[in-house]
Chains A and B, each alone.
Chain A
Amino acid sequence: MGTLVQTFASSSSTLSTYATGLAGHAGEAHAATGVTAYAWLLVALPLLGAAVLLLGGRRTDKVGPVLATALSWAAFVVGALVFFAMLGRGAEDRAVGIDLFDWVAAGSFKVSAGLLVDQLSMAFVLLITFVGSLIHVYSIGYMEHDVDKRRFFAYLNLFVAAMLLLVLANSYLLLYVGWEGVGLASYLLIGFWNYNPAYATAANKAFVANRVGDFGLSIAIIVMFFHFGAVDFATVLGEAGTNANQGFMTAIGLMLLLGACGKSAQFPLQSWLGDAMAGPTPVSALIHAATMVTAGVYLVVRSAPIFEAAPTAQLVVVIVGAITLLFGAVVGCAKDDIKKALAASTMSQIGYMMLAAGLGPVGYAFAIFHLLTHGFFKAGMFLGAGSVMHGMNDQVDMRRFGGLSGAMKITWATFGLGWLAILGVPPFSGYWSKDKIIEAAFIGEGWRPWVFGTAALVGAGITAFYMSRLFFMTFHGKKRWTDDVHPHESGLLMTVPMMVLAVGSAFLGLVLGVTGGISTWLEPVTGAEPEGAHPVLPPWLLIVLTLVLIAAGAGYAWMRYWRDDVAVTAPAGSLATQAARQDLYQDQVNEALLMRPGIHLTRSLVFADGKGVDGAAGGLAALVGGTSSRLRRLQNGFARSYALTMLAGVVAILGALWVIS
């Protein structure tokens, strides 16, 4: 048996004895004891909910939503207990591996399924279960009148289970299962109202973009297996940090990045996120803002040792992040649909996280930090947008909003806190996390800090403009309502989650950032910040620059969208505005580069076969209709040439071998 496979087999067998850990960073993970041993409940509880609701049928219609919400909270309670147990241990003993079962164990390879509970996965577990449960509560109010809400809650629970599996998996293969699971849940939820053809198309688009990404991830896993003979984090990341071939690491890194781009809507696979807003708003808040779309960032941070060993791949991560953060920001400036504007903003903010994750140890902790604060304030704003839509007969056109601050005070206040947070106004959450990323982007040598730092800095200014535009157009200025709407505040079931998230938007950054707690917490996983890394510009200057740009962006938005009147129909706008409205022609580019050549290739080959072309009818007629004689004639001609191919093949191969030997 080859050494590779032996390594694989032996590494798996050791796994079962002393569990997993991130060698190279955290040392060995410890076997689970106490409450931590029950961490599998995190995945099992919501999964149980999904199963009960889907299999229970109409009988669970009444109890379903409450049950799903309760199970989601139960998962949060388990997560919190595991978290406190972890706090009780020293920093080096916090990572814990839990073996579940031997998944594939026979013949030449072995994979065991297990969970890895460490600082990084716990940060995600708390975010997912807490925000997820709040959104469950909100959904009870939001989906009150939907006839099929049982199915909706089943999918939500399925999503939570899959997302938890994704972040808790101890191997890339199990992560992949969660990865596919969240993709499935996302697809089901985007198309939840699939009686609307446009929504079904949106689900389709998300499906295709995600397939491209998943495909990258699966190739990464396969290459990983070839190189390391294993796919569990302990072996792969351990060996990546010590003796890895840089070419292989670059290949794996780039393929992982492709996967991350698909899931996290990063350039060039970002086009689906805007369309995914077709799903119910709580879905946009949970999946397409707070959790699933950040899975790509998790993947990159988790795979840190691989990227550390592949500077090229790391650079590409930073470039992708920088492009996306500007791309999303520019698109966000022109969108009139409140949810699509928020989606563009999500894309842009994840661009920030990606950029930070690509910077290496100076950025990992801040990528996760921003991910957590963003999870709160963006989910809060999406829920706010849902509340606005609720009060405005499901309208989404911001040009028809305006002056809502009076009619919806709670929504205005909670949304306002989220707005201040995403702008990066001190002392709200976003300031602490985004400012750190900008600072980190300015660290380095040569051209990089200047290019990436400037991108991050400019992005902050544009963010201030488009988010203020959104906020002012919705809540301030003149009322531009259509005649039939009577805006009203939503019920407590919806506003309480918004308030809780608003509190997070306000203070989470302060709590985690001012103490430096998040960096210390994540250090065993992501590695320590290098000593003596200073930005090329002094930090105080960066802070001042950032704040000036934010003020300028917000001020310009104030002039345009609060002080001045906003037209109820969109003006033609400049070329730049038109381009941004069209997502910078991303769909057209995709079509020209990817779809058309494929279609043409297929068509020309169909022509060559002498069959009809024009879609269903033509092809059908050619094939089933009276063309069998023509087919026969064609194929009779081929029989000889088939035999000739065989003969030529034999002669060519034998000839080649003779020449070689």
Chain B
Amino acid sequence: MTAVAPLALPALPAAFQQSNVDYLAILPLLIVFGTALVGVLVEAFAAREKRHAIQVGLAVVGLLAAAASLILAAKHQGVTMGLTDGSTNRQLFALAIDGPALFMQGAILLMGVLGVLTMAERFGGVGPDAFTPSGASTPGSPTESAAVRAGALTSEVFPLTMFAIFGMMLFPTTNDLIGMFVALEVLSLPLYILSGLARRRRLLSQEASLKYFLLGAFSSAFFLFGTALLYGYAGSVYFGDLSKAIASGPLAMNGLLLPGAFLVFVGLLFKVGAVPFHAWTPDVYQGAPTPVTGFMAACTKAAAFGAILRLAYVGLDTGRWEWTNALVIVALLTMVVGAVLSVTQTDMKRLLAYSSIAHAGFILVGVLAFDRKAVGAVLFYLVAYGFSTIAAFAIISLVRQNGAEATHLSQWAGLGRRYPVVAGAFAFLMLAFAGIPLTSGFVSKFAVFSAAVGTGGATGTVLAVVGVVCSAITVFVYARVIVLMFFSEAPDDGVEVVTPSVSTTFSISIGTLVTLALGVLPSALLDLADRASQFVR
């Protein structure tokens, strides 16, 4: 990043300031990005039969190394990648390495490991089982069958995942609107591709991918339009400048501020699946390969909420009286629509999609409490929810009928009698989603709702009450799944739970254990989240 000073240009001030980059602070980001690049090279040069093992190993090692390097980065907190403008003393830094950013990076890295391990499931085949061997071919075409016969495999999903993780880590770390937009696109583009690569029911998958892409592009347009309006208002895209400009800005310009702020939020709320920007969620969750769905649900949500937190608490904090009401409406809608629609779902993946929408609403309640404690609660919630979700989707990927995933609710009837361990784990995760005590779900809901009541004022209380009522509605949904698994007669339709390899077993057990551990002894992580809740400016 060392820039050569263009001395010949007279328009620039004589003393060109070099950008400050603290490489240790951004080491985790660099490691993940480097691993992704190496993965592309592996794809080009490694022999086909060795590729899968190399790619999985590389991705896991890269993620763990990045997670380890977070310890170094934590000692180099502060803003970086930019400069302090000498004449105006403006802080023009692209990245903010602070508690929330590092916490989110760590969470994304660890959940990413579980995600990659779930994607790596082969069930004894050559390539990852969830992905089609030939993504570019028409479903059912001779090209596709030729690729299957030739033993083609889609090991490029791993570098794609690494690029996505890089974007996700960048997302809550960026300190200006343009950087945030770039991160948004970096994380989204690989996900669009990954969503379209399902091995079975490929039309559904491709359609999910296209739809995700179209609507994603649509929401990006909102984000950019909002950015333009905010730039018009503040004359800068840096969060620090925005905050100062709003604090001292002329009231006459408020016509730009509210729409600008809200439109930027729309771009981010789209990613977390908040209503009314949620329509893609059920379709994409259903169509995408199940391990990808789990990965998306956990990590994208974490990254996007990290970005929402930074925007709300650092960039637009001074103007929050303008835009809070808009987000309150969105939060209310999200909780109610997510909870109510989940009641009538008959497909397991769609059910969890609506559940994820409802959870986004609960997390928004925490965001809207505007307090340091609330930041800690939101961070905790994202980790708790993420681990449970990855494990839940990994279990869904094991329930099969004639080799294809059996995601219809009726196919899960009586599963608990034949596979008590797997169904028991799934039932436990359902209880966590429902927020029953002794699961992480209870602690996280408790934390965000108590933060909302504590510091959110009357609005916070209303939000929390609606949140409690909505979680009440969703309990019914989850209880129904449990009842179905354990008390219904199993139809004789050959639904089975296939035996997973070590990697999937590992993801499921870790996800379930974390859900239990955070429910029984949440103190350690709550403490960590609490200590990591301070933003730098």
State the A residues within 8 Å of B (CB): 1-5, 8, 102, 104-109, 173, 176-177, 180, 197, 200-201, 203-204, 207-208, 211, 215, 218-219, 222-223, 225-226, 229, 601-602, 605-606, 611, 615-617, 619-620, 623-624, 628-629, 631-632, 635-636, 638-639, 641-643, 645-646, 648-650, 652-654, 656-658, 660
B527 touches A107 (CB 8 A): yes
Q: With A107-B373, A107-B527, A656-B329 known to touch, is A643 a contact of B214 (CB < 8 Å)?
A: yes
How extensive is the interface on chain B, given as a class? 35 or more
Bound together, the chains give a CA A598 to CA B187 distance in angstroms of 40
B276 touches A645 (CB 8 A): yes
Distance between A515 CB and nearest chain B CB, rounded to angstroms = 41
Bound together, the chains give a CA A108 to CA B438 distance in angstroms of 18
> Given the complex, which residues of B lie within 8 Å of A645, measured CB to CB?
276, 279
Bound together, the chains give a CA A30 to CA B325 distance in angstroms of 49
B523 touches A109 (CB 8 A): no
Q: With A108-B376, A649-B276 known to touch, is A1 a contact of B259 (CB < 8 Å)?
A: no
A646 touches B377 (CB 8 A): no
> Given the complex, which residues of A lie within 8 Å of B358, measured CB to CB?
none
A-B pairs, 4 with minimum CB distance: A649-B276, A2-B454, A106-B526, A642-B279
Distance between A189 CB and nearest chain B CB, rounded to angstroms = 16
Residues in B442-460 with C-beta less than 8 Å from chain A: 443, 446-447, 449-451, 453-455
Q: With A107-B376, A624-B404 known to touch, is A215 a contact of B472 (CB < 8 Å)?
A: yes
Bound together, the chains give a CA A229 to CA B437 distance in angstroms of 17
Distance between A638 CB and nearest chain B CB, rounded to angstroms = 7
> Given the complex, which residues of A lie within 8 Å of B279, measured CB to CB?
638, 641-642, 645-646
B451 touches A657 (CB 8 A): no
Q: With an 8 A cutoff between CB atoms, is B123 at the interface? A: no
Q: With A632-B203, A635-B211, A646-B270 known to touch, is A108 a contact of B491 (CB < 8 Å)?
A: no
Q: Which of A225, A611, A643 contacts B215 (CB 8 A)?
A: A643
Q: With an 8 A cutoff between CB atoms, is B344 at the interface? A: yes
Bound together, the chains give a CA A344 to CA B218 distance in angstroms of 63
> Given the complex, which residues of B lie within 8 Å of A619, measured CB to CB?
346, 408, 410
A613 closest partner in B (C-beta): B346
| Interface-located stretch among B12-20, B389-397, B461-469 | B461-469
* A-B residue pairs in contact (CB < 8 Å), sample of 15: A1-B454, A8-B450, A106-B522, A106-B530, A107-B373, A108-B377, A108-B450, A109-B446, A177-B438, A226-B449, A226-B461, A624-B401, A635-B211, A654-B259, A656-B329
| A-B residue pair count with CB separations less than 8 angstroms | 182
Distance between A197 CB and nearest chain B CB, rounded to angstroms = 8
> Given the complex, which residues of B lie within 8 Å of A631, measured CB to CB?
203-204
A215 touches B475 (CB 8 A): yes
Bound together, the chains give a CA A574 to CA B468 distance in angstroms of 48
A646 touches B277 (CB 8 A): yes
B211 touches A639 (CB 8 A): yes
* Most chain B Cβ neighbours within 10 Å, of A215, A218, A222, A657: A222
B523 closest partner in A (C-beta): A106
Distance between A19 CB and nearest chain B CB, rounded to angstroms = 21
Q: With an 8 A cutoff between CB atoms, is B266 at the interface? A: yes
> Given the complex, which residues of A lie within 8 Å of B270, measured CB to CB?
646
State the B residues within 8 Å of A (CB): 201, 203-204, 207, 210-211, 214-215, 218-219, 222, 258-259, 262-263, 266, 270, 275-277, 279-280, 283, 325-326, 329-330, 343-344, 346-347, 371, 373, 376-377, 380, 401, 404, 407-408, 410-411, 413, 436-438, 443, 446-447, 449-451, 453-455, 461, 464-465, 468, 472, 475, 479, 483, 487, 489, 491, 493, 522-524, 526-527, 529-530
Distance between A475 CB and nearest chain B CB, rounded to angstroms = 38
* Most chain A Cβ neighbours within 10 Å, of B325, B449, B453: B453
Interface of B is mostly: helix
B410 closest partner in A (C-beta): A616
Bound together, the chains give a CA A160 to CA B523 distance in angstroms of 29
B330 touches A653 (CB 8 A): yes
Bound together, the chains give a CA A225 to CA B468 distance in angstroms of 12
Interface of A is mostly: helix
> Given the complex, which residues of B lie within 8 Å of A1, measured CB to CB?
371, 373, 454-455
A657 touches B258 (CB 8 A): yes
Q: Which of A8, A176, A620 contacts B411 (CB 8 A)?
A: A620
> Given the complex, which residues of A lie within 8 Å of B529, measured CB to CB?
107
> Given the complex, which residues of B lie within 8 Å of A176, measured CB to CB?
437
B371 touches A617 (CB 8 A): no
B215 touches A108 (CB 8 A): no
A640 closest partner in B (C-beta): B214
Bound together, the chains give a CA A20 to CA B52 distance in angstroms of 60
| Known contacts A602-B344, A632-B203; 12 further A-B pairs (Cβ under 8 A) | A106-B524, A173-B437, A208-B479, A226-B449, A229-B454, A605-B344, A620-B410, A628-B201, A639-B215, A641-B279, A643-B215, A646-B270
Bound together, the chains give a CA A641 to CA B276 distance in angstroms of 12
Distance between B129 CB and nearest chain A CB, rounded to angstroms = 17
Q: Which of A8, A107, A617, A624 contacts B447 (CB 8 A)?
A: A107
B483 touches A208 (CB 8 A): yes
> Given the complex, which residues of A lie within 8 Å of B377, measured CB to CB?
107-108
Bound together, the chains give a CA A629 to CA B139 distance in angstroms of 12
B373 closest partner in A (C-beta): A108
> Given the complex, which residues of A lie within 8 Å of B371, measured CB to CB?
1
A225 touches B446 (CB 8 A): yes
Distance between B83 CB and nearest chain A CB, rounded to angstroms = 36
Bound together, the chains give a CA A207 to CA B489 distance in angstroms of 16
A106 closest partner in B (C-beta): B526
> Given the complex, which residues of A lie within 8 Å of B211, measured CB to CB?
635, 639, 642
A639 touches B373 (CB 8 A): no
Q: Which of A628, A629, A654 contacts B326 (CB 8 A)?
A: A654
Bound together, the chains give a CA A541 to CA B468 distance in angstroms of 51
> Given the complex, which residues of B lie within 8 Å of A648, measured CB to CB?
276
> Given the complex, which residues of A lie within 8 Å of B259, measured CB to CB?
654
Distance between B336 CB and nearest chain A CB, rounded to angstroms = 14
B344 touches A646 (CB 8 A): no
B214 touches A616 (CB 8 A): no
Bound together, the chains give a CA A218 to CA B330 distance in angstroms of 26
Distance between A181 CB and nearest chain B CB, rounded to angstroms = 10
